[in-house]
Amino acid sequence: AQSVTQLGSHVSVSEGALVLLRCNYSSSVPPYLFWYVQYPNQGLQLLLKYTSAATLVKGINGFEAEFKKSETSFHLTKPSAHMSDAAEYFCAVRTYNNNDMRFGAGTRLTVKP
Amino acid sequence: NAGVTQTPKFQVLKTGQSMTLQCAQDMNHEYMSWYRQDPGMGLRLIHYSVGAGITDQGEVPNGYNVSRSTTEDFPLRLLSAAPSQTSVYFCASSKIDRLNTEAFFGQGTRLTVV
C-alpha cells in the first residue's frame, strides 16, 4: 500500500528565509502526490500536485515541489517565507489503481518576524 | 460555489450516544471519503465510496458506519460514541480520473465525546 512520511513535525523559519518541508513516499506503482495546506480551524486546501506531466511543480502562494523518483521524495519549497505561510502542511499520495488518498502526519510551519 | 458542505461544525456527545455527521457535495464527484484528524497523526481514512451504493473501509473503520444512496450525500454514523472518537472529521470528494485526482475538503466537524 502507498504511504508518505513527513520528516519534521514542526519547522520554524524566519520571515524571508527558505522554506523546506520534506516528504518521502512509498509506492509500488507510479504515484500521484499532493501537498495541502491547513490554516487554523479550516479545511485542507490544495497547494500543488504531481501527476507525471512535469517533475517540478509550481503551486499557489509561491510554493513549488520537485518529484525525485530516485529519492522517492516530493519536498515542498518556497524561496522566501511570509508570515501568512504559517499553517500546517500535509503531503498525500494516491495511486492510479487505488483512489484512496493517504496523508502524512503533517508539518506545522512557524514563521518568525 | 458550495463545494463540500459538512454539518454540524461542532458537536458534543455523551459516551454511548449516536449521531450522524452529514456531508454533501455539489460537484458530481464519484468518489467521497471520510477522514479523522488527530494531533501528530495526520488524516486517517475511515470509509470511502466510489459511487452510489458502493462503500468500503479505510484505515480506521471501527465504530463508524456509512452509506451512499445518492451521488451527492455521504453521511457518517457513530452508533455508540466513545471518548476515543473525539476528533476533527473531514469529508472529501473527488472525480475518479487518472489525470486529475485531487480531493476537495469540507470545513470539518469538531466532535467531542465526554
pLDDT digits (tens, 9 = 90+) for B59-109: 899 999 999 999 999 999 999 999 999 999 999 999 876 545 788 999 999
B61: CB partners within 8 A, 6+ apart? B46, B47
> Would you tell me how many other CB atoms lie within 10 Å of the CB of residue B62?
9
According to the model, what pLDDT value does residue A14 have?
97
* DSSP, residue by residue, B14-64: -TT--EEEEEEESS--SEEEEEEEETTTEEEEEEEEEETTEEEE-S--TTE
B92 touches chain A (CB under 8 A): yes
- Over 80: is that where the pLDDT of A98 sits? no
How many CA atoms, within 13 angstroms, populate the side-chain half-sphere of residue B102?
A: 14
User: Which residues are registered as beta bridge partners of B18?
Assistant: none
According to the model, what pLDDT value does residue B97 have?
67
Q: Which residue has the cell 456531508?
A: B23
Alpha-carbon distance A44 to nearest alpha carbon in chain B (angstroms): 6
A50 touches chain B (CB under 8 A): no
- Over 60: is that where the pLDDT of A80 sits? yes
Taking only the tens place, the pLDDT of each residue in B17-56 is 999 999 999 999 999 999 999 988 899 999 999 999 999 9
Phi/psi for B83 (5° steps) reads -55, -30
* Cα–Cα dist A11/B101, whole Å: 28
For residue B106, the one-letter residue type is G
According to the model, what pLDDT value does residue B54 have?
94
- Cβ contact, residue pair A42, B100, below 8 Å: no
According to the model, what pLDDT value does residue B43 have?
93
Kindly state the DSSP code that residue A45 receives in the 8-state scheme.
E
According to the model, what pLDDT value does residue A81 have?
97
The residue of B36, B95, B101 whose CB has the most chain A CBs within 10 angstroms, and thus the best one to mutate to test that interface, is B101
- Over 70: is that where the pLDDT of A66 sits? yes
